[in-house]
Amino acid sequence: MRGIWTMVGNDLKQRIRDKSVFIFSLLVPLSLMGVLNLAFGGFGPDTVELKPATVVASNEDAGPLGGALLSALDSLEVMDVTLRSVPAAEVQQETRNSGADLGLAIPSGFTTAVTSGQGVSVQVVEGERQGIETDVLVSVVDGLLDQFGAGAVAAMAGHSAGLPPELLVGLGEQTAAGTPALSLSEGQAAAEQLSLKGTLVAGQTGLFLLFTVGFGVLGLLAEREQGTLARLRSSPVDGRSIITAKALVGFILGIVATTVLLTVGSLLFGVSFGSPLVLGLLVVSVAAAATSMTFVVARLVRTAEQANVAQSILAMVLGIAGGAFFPIEASGFVAALMDLNPVGAFIRGLGISAGGGGPADVAVPLTVMLGFAAVCTIASRLIPDRGARI
């Protein structure tokens, strides 16, 4: 066992001295994350910012509901709203001339009409520069008028039931000003949901992991060509120990590179992937899956150059199909086949973890990655070695 770790230590020292490990495992993926973030980051749902809006308003109502309607617009948390008071006859013209987002004219007797069950109209004028801000303001006004309308319905129902007039006013006001029975609040999905930036970080991490692990196992072919392997065989070290050492080198490099990319990516792009325990399980599993694939590549090729080409092709195919650059939609047999992709499973697992999932919640992605590792390991022992055997 000491001989194995001695070989692992020597190989790791060589890889650290070799600047290509840092370039392909860290520098290139981090640079690509930054480029993709600049190219597509503006399309994320968390980047929408509402501009300040102006509302030209006229309130001729002597009751509390007219003022409540304007106060609700003035106190919106999603954007800054400036209210400008003008006479009712000037609302439409002032909205057009000043470039305001919305004009609002509340008629006299608005509160009395609502609380007594009578029909009443509120004039709403949309500004010429209609945008998302105008849509938000109109939606707020519609919601409040619907709530006030509920007060009118309650007052009419009370009148039909024979309630005295003094109770109808209180009933209408209570219903119109009361809190709704149902409310909506923004939340975060708890399964398989990553933001755009999170998907970019996770996808590039999974893709370049497939390149990183190749520095370990595929280095075996380079040593075979250079004659280093023959010298190792002449020492009292069996072939299995050499293979195990190379596998451990790729596995360790994969874990370190993946951990660094996820950490740096989450800090640079402001994303979180959840519990460190779940992340550790996912990183170890995907590193095992990626390392096992290099065993198959090493058995199918004759030279280190062929191995690098084959590894690059497999990495790009698995990375793109797994969603390293953009989500892939599929159905039927193709979808079932793509679900077995370790890169896709890794991204899904990170999504579950980012939503607050625990170890039990990522059981399926872990099973996919570990199953992929087991199948590739078994296949590497059954596939004939096209190169020189150890």
CATH of the domain at 92: 3.40.1710
236/370 same-domain check = yes
91/160 same-domain check = yes
Q: Given 149, 177, 205, which residue is the final one in a domain?
A: 177
| Domain hosting residue 266, numbered range | 2-44+195-382
Dihedral angle over CA of 235, 237, 242, 248, nearest 10: -120
Task: Characterize the bridge pairing of strands 102-106 and 81-85.
Answer: unpaired
DSSP letter at 213 equals T
In whole angstroms, what is the distance from residue 343 CA to residue 318 CA?
Answer: 7
Q: Given 119, 147, 177, which residue is the final one in a domain?
A: 177
267/351 same-domain check = yes
Closest CA to 270 of 70, 33, 48: 33
11: Cα separation from own chain's centroid = 37
Is 311 within a domain? yes
Q: What is the mean pLDDT of the chain?
A: 77
Non-local (6+) Cβ contacts of 264 within 8 A are 30
Least confident of 109-113, 189-193, 200-204, 251-255: 189-193
Bridge partners of 54? Answer: 82
Contact 192, 355 (CB under 8 A): yes
42: Cα separation from own chain's centroid = 14
In whole angstroms, what is the distance from residue 250 CA to residue 209 CA?
Answer: 10
CB atoms within 10 A of CB 183: 6
What average pLDDT does the segment 309-335 reach?
A: 80
Is 390 within a domain? no
Which amino acid is it at 34? G
With tokens 């509402």, the residue in question is: 50
295 or 277: which carries more pLDDT confidence?
A: 277
pLDDT, residue 258, reads: 92
Angstrom CA distances, 247 to 117, 224, 237, 348, stand at 79, 16, 16, 26
How many domains, in total, are found in the chain?
A: 2
Beta strands in 8-136 (DSSP E): 53-59, 81-85, 102-106, 123-126
Contact 285, 203 (CB under 8 A): no
Closest CA to 72 of 168, 139, 170, 157: 139
Is 265 within a domain? yes
What average pLDDT does the segment 357-386 reach?
A: 89
In whole angstroms, what is the distance from residue 201 CA to residue 173 CA?
Answer: 53
pLDDT, residue 71, reads: 84
Contact 315, 289 (CB under 8 A): no
Helix, strand, or coil here: 30?
A: helix
Dihedral angle over CA of 297, 302, 305, 310, nearest 10: -30
What average pLDDT does the segment 46-57 reach?
A: 75
pLDDT above 70 (res 167): no
Is 182 within a domain? no
pLDDT, residue 184, reads: 43
252/304 same-domain check = yes
Contact 172, 152 (CB under 8 A): yes
Is 189 within a domain? no
Helix, strand, or coil here: 220?
A: helix
Is 96 within a domain? yes
249/106 same-domain check = no
Element (H, E) at 158: helix 132-160
Is 388 within a domain? no
Q: Given 177, 211, 240, which residue is the final one in a domain?
A: 177
Least confident of 50-64, 207-221, 314-328: 207-221
275/296 same-domain check = yes
Which amino acid is it at 259? T
35/115 same-domain check = no
241/276 same-domain check = yes
Tens digits of per-residue pLDDT, 208-261?
Answer: 888 888 776 666 666 666 556 555 555 555 656 777 777 888 889 889 999 999
In whole angstroms, what is the distance from residue 59 CA to residue 57 CA?
Answer: 7
Phi-psi bin for 274: left (phi > 0), alpha (psi -120 to 50), beta? left
7/108 same-domain check = no
Listed in sequence order, the DSSP H helices in 235-303 are: 239-269, 276-300
- As given in the structure block, the two tokens for residue 153 are 């319905």
pLDDT bracket for residue 180 (50, 70, 90)? very low
First to last CA, the chain: 18
* CA R_g for the chain: 33
